[in-house]
Amino acid sequence: MFISPAYAQAAGAAPSGGDLFAQMMPLLLIFAVFYFLLIRPQQKKVKEHKLMLDALRRGDKVVTGGGIIGTVTKVAENNEVTVEIADGIKVKVVRDTITTVFAKTEPGDSAPANDDGDKGAKKEGDKGGLKKLLGG
């Protein structure tokens, strides 16, 4: 008696299959957009980073996640990399913390290309510019 005829008609109608599909279509489209704009590019970046880390070898100049720049001196099998950040200062880092490889060594090289074994020798451009300025 208190129920109006409009409520009674709405309660009796069951949603059909076409209406359910039409209601779900925007949700499916949003998921597809998220997949192609967010998930897939991230998977590609992760794959490229893994390939970069797998190709890491001695002599490569790298940047760690903390911003430390150094040269790889040893790549261990247990997910550790030894990086020389200054002359005689070596640190061990987890392989995954390496974010960028600046300069890669050639595949046949096991040491840096300009390493001639002479630790005490001056490099080419150390004081050449100052000598030229002072006339010496």
Q: Is the same domain home to 37 and 67?
A: no
Residue 10 resides in a domain = no
Q: Average model confidence (pLDDT) for the chain?
A: 79
Identify the CA nearest to 99 among candidates 62, 70, 73. 62
| 81, 92 Cβ separation under 8 angstroms | yes
Q: Is the same domain home to 64 and 103?
A: yes
Q: Per the structure, how many domains does the chain have?
A: 2
Q: Determine the Cα–Cα distance for residues 70 and 98; give it in Å rounded to an integer.
A: 10
* pLDDT higher than 60, residue 109: no
* CATH number of the domain within which 106 lies: 2.30.30
Q: Specify the 3-state DSSP secondary structure of 114.
A: coil
Residue 127 resides in a domain = no
Beta bridge partner(s), residue 61: 71, 103
| 97, 65 Cβ separation under 8 angstroms | yes
Residue ranges making up the domain that contains 77? 57-113
pLDDT digits (tens, 9 = 90+) for 58-90: 999 999 999 999 999 999 988 999 999 999 999
